Structure 1
Amino acid sequence: MSIEARTPSAPRVAVVTGGSRGIGRATAARLAADGFAVVIGYAGNRDLAEAAAREVTAAGGRAVAVRADIADEEQAAALFEAAATEFGGVDVVVHAAGRMYLAPITELDLAELDAMHRTNIRGTFVVAREAARTLRRGGAFVGFSSSVVSLAFPSYGAYSASKGAVEALTLVLARELRGRDVTANTVAPGPTATDLFLDGKDEETVARLAAQPPLERLGTPADIAEVVAFLASPAGHWVNGQVVRANGGIV
């Protein structure tokens, strides 16, 4: 896909992977509220993705849902082509799609390791590559890591390793985009009340994790969406090549 300048009258366009639920869905809605036309990428749940798109359009925005396996280079390219066809190009890419399996290193099924790394590492690489090829001047790429990379929680070894790779990749991408006026950053949420985080955790575990930040609560998808919206905006354009730990103050 060739990179063409956006005309002043055209809307800014965002591609949000993992946009059917959780942080991705909240981010799609938040960017739409800022005037972005949004392409909501999803892996399998068409109903949720289309509901997310309807949520945007009901609020007066523009959105389409597009299915894509983000680790498949042809499907990822098709996702970006859909953005160009529907809305004329791509200005912001938010890569929120991810997978998490938790187990001690001695017990993790290697099939789960491979599946997680295919989504979290290969998928991030493929999406970042498409972003680098297509983002217009003034654009932004926002990847997702996790604060567990530095917190080193037991059972998070494989997941943390995959998210550490996201951080490394994004920081290199920022430098490779020199001269393009395009930023690349990673947001690393702390414990956030999403289905992905809450799955398999009992009330005691959730309460313990919620008590860790000085703000004494879990993050919400909306909290994280606000950080992404800032990085995607002109106000956040001087932030580049950074890992932003949005976790309520956990150190």
Structure 2
Amino acid sequence: MSSAQKARFEGKAAVVTGGSRGIGAAVARRLVQEGAAVAIGYRGNKEAADALVAELGDGGGHAIAVQADVAVPEQTGALIARAVAEFGRLDVLASCAGVEHFDALEKITPADFDHVFAVNTRGQLFAVQHAVAHMSEGGRIVLTSSVSASRAFFGHTLYAASKAAVESMVLNLSAELGRKGITVNAIAPGGTATDMAAENSSNYLHPDLVGKQDPSEWIELGVALRRLAEPSEIAAGYAFLASADAAYMTGRTLQVDGGLF
């Protein structure tokens, strides 16, 4: 990382939801490495969030951990208010909290729908609402979609719909927030080496191949770079969209998928 990159977020403050593990933790690390003070939102894994704060502090960074379930908008509002109270400002929202879901159409319940959309869609919308109330011109918002929003997988309808809605929100919010000088974009990660991916990798296989093909073989055959992404590589996309380098980019979803085909 160049010295210019290290200073891209100097003096700025960020909130990262879902920041205790996986892609969210990598985003928090990247923003702190580049000079930002970061509030790490987590739902239940206090131990992991506190460990990350300690790690970042040992490296000379400024981070705090705040419990917040994004499915409860009031908790997200409290997280953002706490960040502003701690840092005196808010420049970046990286919305990384999300839940996975696989099930056949006949098995999806209204409770499943409500839970997935409460976290993946409603949670991100109200995170933006609370963040914008504290942002000034130059604010950056980066939401999280998925390549599943534009690619079919068996049993992934509910999850994919929740992420496709995020891309539509980003597009429409860009017009509204552009008047305030705030950009809003999304990242659509491809397969990434996280615990969530490990738990669900076999679900991405065609049903006729389950038990016959290892998910790693599918990755080698279906991704141009022939591997999963490292969380840090996805985090680089969030850092780009949150930086001044992306000042003229808004309303767009950036796919970071290693060349999925």
TM-score for both structures, normalised by structure 2: 0.88
Other-structure match for 2:235: 225
Other-structure match for 1:20: 20
Could you tell me how far apart the structure 1 residues matched to 2:128 and 2:217 are? 35
| Identity, % of aligned positions | 39
Deviations 1:69-108 (A, max 9, x none): 1122221111111111110011000000001111122223
- AA in 2 matched with 1:18: G
Could you tell me how far apart the structure 2 residues matched to 1:102 and 1:73 are? 25
Deviations 1:142-175 (A, max 9, x none): 0000001111111111000000111111111111
Could you tell me how far apart the structure 2 residues matched to 1:26 and 1:166 are? 21
Could you tell me how far apart the structure 2 residues matched to 1:210 and 1:119 are? 31
Other-structure match for 2:209: none
Other-structure match for 1:113: 113
Other-structure match for 1:189: 189
Could you tell me how far apart the structure 2 residues matched to 1:226 and 1:65 are? 21
Other-structure match for 2:257: 247
Other-structure match for 2:208: none
Helix, strand or coil for the counterpart of 1:47? helix
Alignment length (residue pairs): 242
- AA in 1 matched with 2:151: L
Alignment of 1:34-45 (within 5 A): 34-45=34-45
Contact 1:89–1:136 (CA under 8 A) maintained in structure 2:
no
Could you tell me how far apart the structure 2 residues matched to 1:220 and 1:112 are? 29
TM-score for both structures, normalised by structure 1: 0.92
Q: What's the CA shift for 1:181?
A: 1.7
Other-structure match for 2:102: 102
Q: What's the CA shift for 1:210?
A: 4.5
Helix, strand or coil for the counterpart of 2:178? coil
Other-structure match for 1:199: 199
Could you tell me how far apart the structure 2 residues matched to 1:122 and 1:228 are? 20
Alignment of 1:15-164 (within 5 A): 15-164=15-164
Q: What's the CA shift for 1:226?
A: 0.4
Could you tell me how far apart the structure 2 residues matched to 1:65 and 1:40 are? 5
Could you tell me how far apart the structure 2 residues matched to 1:220 and 1:139 are? 27
Other-structure match for 1:215: 225
Pair 232,59 (structure 1): closer, same or farther in 2 beyond 3 Å: same
Other-structure match for 1:235: 245
Identify the structure with the greater helix proportion.
Answer: 2
**Between 83-92 and 210-219, the greater mean CA deviation after superposition:** 210-219
- AA in 1 matched with 2:247: H
Could you tell me how far apart the structure 2 residues matched to 1:239 and 1:121 are? 22
Q: What's the CA shift for 1:43?
A: 0.6
Q: Point out where structure 1 has 5 or more consecutive residues left out of the alignment.
A: 1-9
Pair 163,104 (structure 1): closer, same or farther in 2 beyond 3 Å: same
- AA in 2 matched with 1:216: R
**Between 128-137 and 153-162, the greater mean CA deviation after superposition:** 128-137
Pair 211,223 (structure 1): closer, same or farther in 2 beyond 3 Å: farther
Helix, strand or coil for the counterpart of 1:135? coil
Could you tell me how far apart the structure 1 residues matched to 2:175 and 2:90 are? 20
Q: Point out where structure 2 has 5 or more consecutive residues left out of the alignment.
A: 1-9, 203-212
Other-structure match for 1:172: 172
Contact 1:80–1:130 (CA under 8 A) maintained in structure 2:
yes
Measured on the aligned residues, the alpha-carbon RMSD in Å equals: 1.5
Pair 205,67 (structure 1): closer, same or farther in 2 beyond 3 Å: same
